[in-house]
Amino acid sequence: MTTSTRETTTVCLPALGEGVDAAVITRWLRDPGDRVEAGEPLLEVATDKVDTEIPSPASGLLVDVLVHEDDSVAVGADIARIASDAAPEVVPPTDPRPRADDRVAAAPTDTAAPDTQKLSRLRRTIASRMMESLQTSAQLTTVFEVDVTAIARLRQEHKADFLARTGVKLSFLPFFARAAIDALADHRVLNASVNADVTEITHHPRCHLGIAVDGERGLMVPVIRDAQDLRIDGLAQAIADKADRVRAGTITVDELTGGTFTLTNTGSRGALFDTPIINLPQTGILGTGAVVERLAPTRVDGALGIEVRSFVHLAVSYDHRVVDGADASRFLGSVKHSLENGFQTSDLL
């Protein structure tokens, strides 16, 4: 959003997504006097949902910065002025506040001194939401162990062809996602949201699947809309795309809203399982642990044997105000059955 005169362009804070009416200026990427090109990043801002870069709307010289780092600015407000090359006068900023790198307490002569850093706006938002979730809902976690040997064999047999055809690696995650989506169709209380005073529950007819992604700036949960319509290949591509854009900082605010159920891959760094925190107002979140191989007893035609098999722990946290333990167990039972019996080669083609 910009307004122009003959010689200068006034840069305004653009719309940042539905329901977002303000942002905090976290960092200016150019100083007054710097030349900027249209479309290149000019500054970084943070909202309650996402950190993002704002591109320059015009080419020229950045002559004035009207707001400063850590200032909160309304959408549509003037934030800077850019002059054409014919009007190069530079107006220094009215507030010479230093552009620190958030390191605020390190003695230069003492290499052993503590390194204190300010928490980013996004990190503070994550902290607030986690505490809100725990304090306003009755959370409980149920854990199942699942034998995923059949899926491990499918992956091994088809991973090269899958990568060549889709452009993404075949991990366990799209199988977990597909099994959860199928189970949610029969266990609707977990694909739901609860209003603030717990007087109404909304069962969602479609699954907008949130995928927790560990990005450089913190945890974000982009949403795959209408995930129930996607096969394994579509889910794998969507998960990879969302994760890549979170880590590149190009995910949009709208992509971080509207989820009905969340999947978090807590085993990506080796954890067997944990107790994930619900993404309110959703009623459930599924955590997938690390897939591990171990020796396990088997019976074939009554004969006892030992073989190497692959196992994973699945942990579903749920809002016990509206979801009972039996509901959670039935949901995980459906997921377990799908993962142990429900996938074939045809699901990958």
In 120-170, beta strands by DSSP E: 139-147
Q: At what angle do helices 325-341 and 173-186 cross, to 10 degrees?
A: 130
CA distance 2 to 279: 36
CB 266 within 8 A of CB 289: yes
CB 196 within 8 A of CB 212: no
Indicate the burial class of 5 (C-beta count within 10 angstroms; 0-12, 13-18, 19 or more): exposed
The catalytic residues are 320, 324
Structure-block tokens of residue 272: 């067997």
Residues whose CB falls within 8 Å of the CB of residue 307, separated by 6 or more in sequence, listed in order = 295, 296, 298
CA distance 42 to 66: 13
Strands laid side by side in the 41-46 sheet? 51-55, 41-46, 22-28, 72-74
Beta-strand pair 192-194/72-74: unpaired
- Its sign, for the CA torsion 333, 339, 344, 349, is positive
Q: Please, which residues bridge with residue 144 across strands?
A: 314
